[in-house]
Amino acid sequence: MLETSYFVLQLPGLKPKFYRQIKGGAMGSASTQVLADIYVRKWENEFVQQQQQHGELYLRFRDDVFLTTRLPQERIEKFLLEINKKDPNLTITWEGGKTVDY
């Protein structure tokens, strides 16, 4: 499934073009969602344990994460630089403040 995923793009007035997806899985596929969840759980395991040890929240739904921390902004940015080096397929960005758009 990860090696034989194809899709078609047909623009108005043009012949359809067929593409082979060479990285990742098909969006919306139930099996892709399960594999992505397993992949991310393995990747985030150490971080989740650290959050629990410090009594902080860590909640994730697919690719959205909500967490709490008492770290200053500079330490958060340094930490994210390091954690983003763990896997070239995953990148964590952040926004902080008193409210969060979700």
Give the helix ranges, DSSP H, for 5-101: 30-53, 73-83
Tens-place pLDDT, residues 34-61: 888 888 888 888 888 889 999 999 888 8
Residue 1 has pLDDT above 60, yes or no: no
For 62-101, the pLDDT digits (tens) are 778 888 888 888 988 898 888 888 888 788 887 777 776 6
Residue identified by tokens 């954690």 is 83
Nearest to 60 by CA among 39, 81, 74, 75: 39
> What pLDDT is stored for residue 22 in this prediction?
80
Residues 6+ apart with CB under 8 A from 13: none
Banded pLDDT at 102 (limits 50, 70, 90): low
Q: What's the pLDDT score for residue 3?
A: 66
Looking at residue 7, its pLDDT comes to 83
Q: Which two tokens stand for residue 29?
A: 């596929």
Tell me the percentage of the chain whose pLDDT exceeds 70: 93
